[in-house]
A and B are shown apart, each in its own frame.
Chain A
Amino acid sequence: MKEKRKVLLIGFGNPGRLDDGLGPALAEKIEALNIPEVAVDSNYQLTVEDAAYVAENDIVIFADASVNCKEPFIFSRIDPKKDISFTTHSIDPGSVLGLSRDLFHAETEGYILGIRGYDFNEFGEHLSKKAEENLCQAVDFIVTALQKKDFSEILK
């Protein structure tokens, strides 16, 4: 039953680096709404253990700042990846899904919510004005989607 599907939303990024904090900012707003069957997590970056948490859910949404996506945000389905950048300590959403599938036999549906940001290269704990506007639109969109828990219509 779709209304019983468990959703995990992970907002990631560094709130100390201006618009890079868009993911955690979205997570904070969604968490405050206490939407049934929706768990919310946030971190500076994705890491391997997220694969274990993803495996416990039917749907996962990765929310992150984007430096170049279409304004105000993008939302798309992602597939498990078979490769991974091996020079970093972080891991990308597709690789988290890939690990979740390979290690825990999970069939979790994955989606990415990329919110357009503009200022990343200074320290500061605030979002730019345009990023704030994009965040508001992304929150409205994702709240509606989370209440339905079926993204196939949205992606059509």
Chain B
Amino acid sequence: MNATNLKKVVIEPVTRVEGHGKVTILLDEDKKVKQARLHIVEFRGFERFIQGRPFWEVPVLVQRLCGICPVSHHLAAAKAMDIIVGGENLTPTAEKMRRLMHYGQMFQSHVLHFFHLCSPDLLFGFDADPAIRNIIGVAQKYPDLAVQGVMMRKYGQEIIEATAGKKIHGTGAVPGGVNKNLSIEERDHFLKDIDKMLEWSLGAVKIAKDYTMENLDMVKPFGSFDSNHLSLIREDGAMDLYHGGLRCIDPEGNKIFDHIDYSNYLDYIAEEVRPWSYMKFPFIKSLGTEKGWYRVGPLARVNTCDFIDTPLAEKERKEFMALTGGKPNNITLAYHWTRMIETLHSAEKIRDLLNDPDLQGNDLITKGERRDEAIALIEAPRGTLFHHYKVDKNDQVTMANLIVSTTNNNEPMNRAVTKVAEDHLSGVEITEGLLNHIEVAIRAYDPCLSCATHAMGKMPLIVTLVDHLGDVVDKKIKD
């Protein structure tokens, strides 16, 4: 089939908050789905933007990359700059402050996604009227749940403020450590509400779990496929969202590699360029592009770890893994369930850290032998995040390479959209139902298509249907 003979169905959001993403569904002559492509215009200019800047500015500068997950970039860059200053062996206070910041970020990010973006789908159904299938709709029909979502998000954001500083220009993590500890007053403020956060997190896990189990026939095949899974892992096999070695498993759970020092990531992972996409496609070198792609994020992390080191989340992990007999779970919509297990885990970690007196320590920074290259990874809410820098003798950054979580999930998202299009496209019309299903499939990955801006007047979703002659036969705009 020549590509020019294919009919194209284009779903193009012109929104700067999520970058310039669009979905193109290629149809064959029989109007069957041949291929679906999720286009994300990744803004690569950022890596050039930080070249020439002093390395100690980088943990602050990289937050500008993304208004959605600035803390993940802040911490990944700080971990890299630890290596530059020879301060990667952090003091207990510094490491625990950073972990508290990180769990606060994980908690608020997952909560935002679940309550704000996902829960309307689960509570009202994918095909419900978009006018009610949103957070305002949830607020009106399930006000207690909506309040929980807002207050949990607020809690996580306040943890970030207490550890990182301001919402914009956070400076908490610095090369070799942190610039503040947690005061007794701050600690007591957060301890006051932590039991409520745990209770609400358990409730959110239950919503995601019950939805999955009650709708298993629909959920199981929805945008689903077997895949490899990649994440950081602690030395003893526990889930560790802040630090660890790289583990990758195949769809059956066999280890492709394990406990890899991530400073050697270039020996294991490469990025493929495809002419139709600005975003690269990472893959495991030893398996090649066809079989080497993998998933990252909550689903991958729960699949790859041997256990979770907090009791409530571990109990939920066991229940989750029992669904597939202990084998990796490859259900795309199971991202929601695992995201809530991680929310619970983060709340437990926050509680444990708040009760640790090391957070009130005053030994904040360490240094050692100066280096000129650094690679650091962290498990961001959406998956594994890679930061790689080179610094010259004048302390200026000469090279930066970032592989963001959404890039790691590029191929899986394309596969999910293809699967949904195959199952739900009827004729050559972009129905509301098809749109909804595609969005639900993409949303499962919680992609950060951001790295952009959001000024007023740039928010519509434009949907265009183009026939094989290039004529627009259908167009929809979603404000």
Q: Which residues of A contact B (CB under 8 A)?
A: 12-17, 19-20, 24, 41-45, 47-49, 51-52, 64-69, 81-92, 95, 98-99, 102-104, 112, 114, 117, 120, 122-125
Contact = CB atoms under 8 A, between A and B. Distances in A.
Interface string B132-154: 01111001100100110111011
Given A16-B65, A52-B151, A84-B134, A67 B115 contact: no
B145 to A, nearest CB: 10
Nearest to B120: A86
Given A41-B167, A47-B153, A82-B131, 19 more contacts: A15-B168, A42-B168, A43-B168, A45-B67, A49-B150, A49-B153, A49-B157, A68-B456, A86-B134, A87-B13, A87-B439, A89-B112, A90-B17, A95-B135, A98-B136, A102-B146, A103-B143, A103-B150, A123-B46
Nearest to A93: B456
Contacts of A69: 456-457
B454 A52 contact: no
A124 B166 CA distance: 20
Interface of B: 13, 15-18, 43, 45-46, 48-49, 61, 63-65, 67-68, 70, 112-113, 115-117, 120, 130-131, 133-136, 139-140, 143, 146-147, 149-151, 153-154, 157, 166-169, 439, 448, 450, 452-459, 461, 478-479
A41 B167 CA distance: 9
A82 to B, nearest CB: 6
A44 B457 contact: no
Given A15-B168, A84-B135, A102-B139, A66 B456 contact: yes
Given A87-B439, A88-B15, A98-B136, A120 B120 contact: no
Given A48-B149, A64-B455, A87 B131 contact: no
Contact of A20 (B112, B146, B454): B454
B136 A102 contact: yes
Contacts of B65: 16
Contacts of A64: 455-456
Nearest to A85: B459
B154 A49 contact: yes
A45 to B, nearest CB: 5
B155 to A, nearest CB: 9
A52 B154 contact: yes
Contacts of B150: 48-49, 51-52, 99, 103
Nearest to A62: B456
Contacts of A98: 136, 139
Given A15-B64, A17-B453, A67 B153 contact: no
A21 to B, nearest CB: 9
16 contacts: A17-B452, A42-B168, A44-B168, A45-B68, A47-B112, A47-B153, A64-B455, A65-B453, A68-B457, A85-B459, A86-B133, A87-B18, A89-B113, A90-B17, A123-B43, A123-B45
B402 to A, nearest CB: 13
A64 B70 CA distance: 19
Contacts of A99: 135-136, 139, 146, 150
A87 B455 contact: no
A14 B63 CA distance: 10
Contacts of B18: 87-89
